[in-house]
C-alpha cells in the first residue's frame, strides 16, 4: 500500500512538472512508439489540458488529460504532443460516425467469421525448435533467454517489489 | 474456541482425508523447497494454534470466512492450445516456441482438438453443463512473458458452467466420521498460459522463457463455498485426483501444472460479505492451507483493531509464513476484454445434433466423450469399500499416494490373506517405510508379489506377525531373497511341533512355580507372564494364541 502511495505521489509530481515544462518549452519532439522506460518518462511532455473528470469525450471529440494518461499506461505508448492527441481525437470522431447507424433490434455479431467452422487441429508437435531464429528478433539476449527490463513499466526503484512469478 | 467462527471447519482435531499432498512428495529437489512428507504432517498440525489463538479475547463476535478459488490446471497435451509446439516441462529455454507463441506478426491461432476434449471431459466429470457454443476473448495486460500483450481466454461464454465438486473431510474421534461436502463450480474456461520470467535483481533485468507461453490451461472457477484453508486444500486435492484419473492434466503442483488463486473475505454471520483480498500463485497444497488460514486471521485481526480491509492482491511468502501485498501492476487493472477476432465460436455437438456427413476430425461429440469417462476417484473408493469391506478413511489413504492403489490390488491378486490384513500391511507398514525414506511407491524395494508371499506365510501361520515384520525389514533391504528364503535362513518359522511346544510350556511352568501359583489364585495377568516366558524360550517362534491354549490346558489338568 505504501508503495502505491509513493507511486501516486510521484505521478502527481510528474503531472505538475509536465505542466511546468511545457509552458517554458512548447517545442517538444514527438517520440512516437517510444517504450515507457525511465528515460522516456523523463522527456515525456504533454501540454496541459483541461482535466475535466467527466471524460465524456463521446461525440465532443475532446479527450481529457486523464484519459490520455490512462491510455498511455495501458498501451505503453507516449502520445507526446498536442499533435498526437489531436490525431487521436480525429480518429475517435471518424469512428463515432458509426453511431449514426440505427442498430436497434439487431443482434450484435461475435465476429465477421461467426458463421465459419472453427478448424480443429490434431494434437501433434509440428513447430518449435527454432530458438536461433526467434532470438534474432530480440533486442537483448542472455544465453537462450530474451531479456526484458525488470518489472512491468519502469517505476522508481523503491517501488520495485520482490519478484513474483506471473500467471493469470 | 476461535474455530467455530470458521463454520466449525477447523473445530478441534480433524484431518483432511485427501490429505495435504501426501502423495506426490513433490518437494524433493524442487526449487520451491518443500520438506519431506514426514515433516508435512507436523507443520500442518502446528498451524492450528494460530487460528485458535484468537478465541479467548473476542469470544462475543463470531467471524465467518468465505473462500473462493480459481484453479489453473495445465492440460496434458502434446502440443499447445493454439500452436503446434511441444508442451514439456524443463526443456531448454525458448526451444518449444513457435512463431505464433512469440506473437510474430502474421501468425494465427489454430485450436488444438485435444485441449477442447480435455475441457469437455473435465466439465462432464465435474457435473457441469457443457455449452454447445462457447467464445474466445482477449484479455489484455502487459507483461514481458505475455508477448502478444493479451491472453486468449473465455470470458463471455466459457466451455462449461454450473458444476459441482464433492470432497470429504474426516472429523470426530480418530477421524472415523467422514463428511462429504460440495463446492459449486462456476465455470471452466480454456485459456493460454503465459511464459516464465526469471528475475535477475542483481543485474536488474528479467530473463524470459516462452516455452510455457501458449500451453493450454483449464481455469476452474469455484464459487465461494469454502470456509478455511483445510477445506480449500481438500477440495483442490480431490480436483487433482479427478484430473489425474481423467488424464486431462497431470496436475503436479511442483511443476506448476496446478496453480491456485484464493479470494478471501470475512464477515459476521448474517451480515453482508466483507471486502475480499486475492492471494495469488499458491503452488503447493501445504502453502495453500497456510496462506488461506493466515489471511483469514489477518483480516479478522485488522477488523477487530478497527482497520479496513483493502481490496488488493497479495502473495504468500512461504519463508515468513504470511501474506504480503503485491504491487498492482498498473494500479487499477483494465483488461479491456474484447472478442478474439481470429477465432469463430467453438461449437460442440451431441449425438442428436451431430450434422450428417460432418468430418469426424472436425466435430466434437459430447456424448461420445461422456462414454469415455473413466472411473472417478469417488467411484473407486466406493468400490473398495464395497468389495473389501474397507473403512472409508483407508480407501482415501490408498488413493492419496500415487501408485499405492495399484500396488494394493497387485498384492490382493496374489495373496490368500484377508483384504483387511492386506490393507493394514500396505497402509501401516509398507507406507510407513516409504514415508520414512521419502520414496514413491514405484521406488519401493519390496514388490507386490514379495509382500503377497509374505502375507501368505503369515496367513498360513508359518510365521508370527512379529516375525513377518522382521522378514519385511529384510525384504526392504533388497537383497533379492524371497520371503520363504528369509524365513528359513533366519529360522523364523513358528514351531509346528505341538509336542515340543508342550514340553517347553511344561518346563517353563516348572521353572516358575510362583507365577503358576499366582494364576491359580486367579490373577488374570499371570498367564501373560508365562506366555512371554514361553515365547522367549522359543525365540519368538511360537504362536502366542497356541501357547495360551496349551498353558490353559496344562493348568486345568
Q: Are B405 and B398 in contact (CB under 8 A)?
A: yes
Does residue B13 fall inside a structural domain? no
pLDDT band at B478 (very low <50, low <70, confident <90, very high): confident
Edge to edge, what strands does the sheet with A141-142 contain? A141-142, A145-148, B205-209, B196-200
Does residue B85 fall inside a structural domain? yes
The closest alpha carbon to B483, from B459, B502, B500, B505, belongs to B459
More confident residue, B347 or B543: B347
Q: What is the pLDDT of residue A152?
A: 54
> Domain ends where: B466, B490, B514?
B490
Query: Has this prediction a pTM greater than 0.80?
Result: no
Cβ–Cβ contact A129 with B under 8 A:
yes
Spatial neighbors of A38 by CB under 8 A, at least 6 apart, are A154
Nearest to A123 among B113, B208, B341 (CB): B113
The model's pLDDT over B443-464, given as tens digits with 9 standing for 90+, comes to 999 999 999 999 998 888 888 8
Measured CA distances, A54 to A50, A51, A66, A81, B93 (Å): 11, 9, 10, 22, 48
Does residue B232 fall inside a structural domain? yes
The answer on B536 and B450 residing in a single domain is: no
Q: What is the pLDDT of residue A19?
A: 36
- Determine which of B73, B74, B86, B94 to mutate to test the interface with A (most A C-beta atoms within 10 Å): B94
Q: What is the pLDDT of residue B460?
A: 86
Does residue B97 fall inside a structural domain? yes
The answer on B137 and B169 residing in a single domain is: yes
Does residue B108 fall inside a structural domain? yes
- Among A131-145, B331-345, B416-430, the minimum mean pLDDT is found in B331-345
Does residue B236 fall inside a structural domain? yes
Range of the domain at B236: 64-339
Q: Give me the number of domains chain B comprises.
A: 3
Half-sphere exposure of A72 (CA within 13 A, CB side): 24
Classify residue B346 as left (phi > 0), alpha (psi -120 to 50) or beta.
Answer: beta
Per-residue pLDDT at B16 exceeds 60: no
The secondary element (H helix, E strand) that includes residue B528 is helix B526-537
Q: Are strands A145-148 and B150-153 parallel, antiparallel or unpaired?
A: unpaired
The answer on B384 and B252 residing in a single domain is: no
Does residue B55 fall inside a structural domain? no
Spatial neighbors of A99 by CB under 8 A, at least 6 apart, are A59
Nearest to B344 among A114, A125, A149 (CB): A114
Burial B129-139 (b: 16+ CB within 10 A, else e): ebbeebbbbbb
Does residue B240 fall inside a structural domain? yes
The answer on B484 and B533 residing in a single domain is: no
Within A97-159, residue ranges assigned H as helices are: 131-135
Cβ–Cβ contact B548 with A under 8 A:
no
The model's pLDDT over B348-396, given as tens digits with 9 standing for 90+, comes to 999 999 998 889 999 999 999 999 999 999 999 999 999 999 988 899 9
In the predicted model, what is the mean pLDDT of chain B? 84
The burial class, CB within 10 Å (0-12 / 13-18 / 19+), for B160 is buried
The answer on B299 and B184 residing in a single domain is: yes
User: Which residues of chain B have a CB within 8 Å of the CB of A142?
Assistant: 205, 207
Q: What is the pLDDT of residue B301?
A: 94
Nearest to B199 among A125, A142, A150 (CB): A150
The answer to whether B85 contacts A125, with C-beta atoms less than 8 Å apart, is: yes
The closest alpha carbon to B122, from B252, B281, B288, B240, belongs to B240
ipTM of the complex: 0.74
The average pLDDT across B384-412 equals 91
Indicate the SS3 state at residue B74: strand
- Helices B285-304 and B229-246: angle between axes, nearest 10 degrees: 150
> Domain ends where: B473, B490, B507?
B490
pLDDT band at B328 (very low <50, low <70, confident <90, very high): low
- Helices B285-304 and B37-46: angle between axes, nearest 10 degrees: 10
Nearest to A152 among B329, B341, B364 (CB): B329
> Domain ends where: B440, B455, B490?
B490
Q: Which range has the top average pLDDT, B58-62, B209-213, B388-392?
A: B209-213
What are the φ and ψ backbone dihedral angles of B545, each rounded to 5 degrees? -65, -35
The answer on B167 and B103 residing in a single domain is: yes
The answer on B405 and B333 residing in a single domain is: no
The answer on B437 and B412 residing in a single domain is: yes
Per-residue pLDDT at B556 exceeds 90: no
The closest alpha carbon to B215, from B236, B245, B185, B195, belongs to B195
Q: What is the pLDDT of residue B516?
A: 83
Mean pLDDT by 10 residues, chain A (168 residues): 40 38 36 36 38 43 80 76 85 90 87 86 95 92 91 41 41
Q: What is the pLDDT of residue B239?
A: 97
The answer on B274 and B145 residing in a single domain is: yes
Q: What is the pLDDT of residue B285?
A: 84
User: Which residues of chain B have a CB within 8 Å of the CB of A10?
Assistant: none
Amino acid at each position: 500500500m505504501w508503495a502505491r502511495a509513493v507511486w501516486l505521489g510521484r505521478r502527481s509530481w510528474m503531472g505538475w512538472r509536465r505542466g511546468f515544462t511545457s509552458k517554458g518549452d512548447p517545442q517538444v519532439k514527438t517520440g512516437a512508439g517510444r517504450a515507457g522506460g525511465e528515460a522516456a518518462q523523463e522527456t515525456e511532455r504533454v501540454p496541459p489540458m483541461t482535466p475535466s473528470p467527466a471524460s465524456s469525450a463521446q461525440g465532443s471529440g475532446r479527450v481529457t488529460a486523464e484519459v490520455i494518461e490512462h491510455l498511455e499506461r495501458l498501451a505503453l505508448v507516449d502520445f507526446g504532443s498536442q499533435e498526437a492527441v489531436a490525431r487521436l481525437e480525429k480518429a475517435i470522431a471518424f469512428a463515432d460516425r458509426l453511431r449514426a447507424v440505427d442498430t436497434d433490434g439487431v443482434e450484435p455479431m461475435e465476429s465477421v467469421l461467426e458463421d465459419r467452422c472453427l478448424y480443429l487441429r490434431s494434437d501433434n508437435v509440428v513447430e518449435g525448435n527454432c530458438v536461433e531464429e526467434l532470438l534474432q528478433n530480440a533486442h537483448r539476449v542472455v544465453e537462450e533467454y530474451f531479456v526484458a527490463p525488470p518489472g512491468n513499466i519502469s517505476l522508481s526503484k523503491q517501488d520495485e517489489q520482490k519478484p513474483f512469478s506471473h500467471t493469470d | 474456541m476461535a474455530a467455530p467462527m470458521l463454520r466449525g471447519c477447523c473445530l478441534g482435531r480433524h484431518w483432511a482425508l485427501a490429505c495435504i499432498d501426501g502423495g506426490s512428495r513433490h518437494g524433493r529437489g524442487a526449487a520451491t523447497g518443500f520438506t519431506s512428507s514426514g515433516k508435512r504432517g507436523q507443520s500442518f498440525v502446528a498451524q492450528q494454534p494460530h487460528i485458535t489463538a484468537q478465541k479467548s479475547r473476542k469470544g462475543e463476535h463470531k467471524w465467518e470466512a468465505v473462500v473462493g478459488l480459481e484453479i489453473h490446471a495445465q492440460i496434458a497435451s502434446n502440443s499447445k492450445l493454439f500452436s503446434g509446439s511441444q508442451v514439456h516441462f524443463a526443456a531448454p529455454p525458448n526451444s518449444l516456441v513457435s512463431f505464433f507463441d512469440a506473437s510474430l506478426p502474421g501468425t494465427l491461432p489454430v485450436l488444438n482438438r485435444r485441449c477442447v476434449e480435455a475441457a469437455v471431459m473435465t466439465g462432464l466429470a465435474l457435473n457441469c453443463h457443457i455449452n454447445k457454443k462457447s467464445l474466445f476473448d482477449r484479455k489484455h495486460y502487459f507483461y514481458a512473458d505475455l508477448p502478444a500483450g493479451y491472453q486468449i481466454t473465455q470470458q463471455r461464454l466459457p466451455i462449461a458452467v454450473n458444476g459441482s465438486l464433492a470432497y470429504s473431510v474426516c472429523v470426530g474421534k480418530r477421524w472415523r466420521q467422514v463428511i462429504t461436502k460440495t463446492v459449486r463450480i462456476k465455470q471452466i474456461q480454456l485459456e493460454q498460459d503465459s511464459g516464465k520470467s526469471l528475475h535477475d535483481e542483481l543485474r536488474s533485468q528479467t530473463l524470459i522463457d516462452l516455452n510455457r507461453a501458449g500451453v493450454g490451461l483449464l481455469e476452474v472457477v469455484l464459487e465461494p463455498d469454502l470456509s478455511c484453508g483445510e477445506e480449500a486444500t481438500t477440495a483442490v486435492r480431490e480436483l487433482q485426483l479427478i484430473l489425474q484419473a481423467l488424464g486431462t492434466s497431470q496436475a503436479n503442483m511442483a511443476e506448476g501444472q496446478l496453480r491456485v488463486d484464493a479470494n478471501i473475505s470475512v464477515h459476521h454471520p448474517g451480515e453482508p460479505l466483507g471486502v475480499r483480498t486475492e492471494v495469488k500463485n499458491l503452488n503447493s497444497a501445504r502453502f495453500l492451507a497456510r496462506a488461506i488460514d493466515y489471511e483469514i486471521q489477518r483480516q479478522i485481526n485488522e477488523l477487530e483493531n478497527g482497520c479496513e480491509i483493502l481490496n488488493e492482491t497479495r502473495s504468500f511468502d512461504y519463508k515468513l509464513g504470511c501474506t504480503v501485498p503485491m504491487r498492482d501492476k498498473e494500479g487499477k487493472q483494465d483488461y479491456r476484454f474484447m472478442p478474439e477476432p481470429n477465432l469463430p465460436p467453438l461449437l460442440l455437438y451431441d449425438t442428436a445434433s451431430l450434422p450428417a456427413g460432418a468430418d469426424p476430425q472436425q466435430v466434437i461429440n459430447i456424448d461420445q466423450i461422456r462414454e469415455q469417462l473413466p472411473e472417478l476417484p469417488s467411484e473407486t473408493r466406493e468400490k473398495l469399500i464395497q468389495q473389501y469391506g474397507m473403512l472409508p478413511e483407508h480407501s482415501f489413504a490408498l488413493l492419496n499416494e500415487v501408485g499405492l492403489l495399484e500396488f494394493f490390488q497387485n498384492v490382493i491378486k496374489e495373496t490368500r490373506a484377508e483384504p483387511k490384513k492386506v490393507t493394514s500391511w500396505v497402509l501401516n507398514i509398507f507406507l510407513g517405510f516409504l514415508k520414512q525414506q521419502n520414496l514413491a511407491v514405484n521406488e519401493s524395494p519390496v514388490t507386490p508379489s514379495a509382500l503377497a508371499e509374505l502375507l501368505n506365510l503369515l496367513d498360513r501361520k508359518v510365521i508370527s506377525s512379529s516375525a513377518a515384520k522382521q522378514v519385511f525389514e529384510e525384504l526392504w533391504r533388497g537383497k533379492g531373497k524371497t520371503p520363504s528364503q528369509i524365513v528359513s535362513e533366519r529360522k523364523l518359522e513358528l514351531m509346528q511341533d505341538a509336542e515340543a511346544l508342550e514340553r517347553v510350556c511344561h518346563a517353563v511352568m516348572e521353572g516358575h512355580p510362583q507365577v503358576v501359583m499366582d494364576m491359580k489364585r486367579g490373577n488374570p495377568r499371570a498367564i501373560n507372564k508365562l506366555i512371554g516366558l514361553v515365547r522367549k524360550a522359543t525365540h519368538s517362534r511360537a504362536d502366542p494364541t497356541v501357547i495360551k491354549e496349551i498353558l490353559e490346558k496344562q493348568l486345568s489338568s
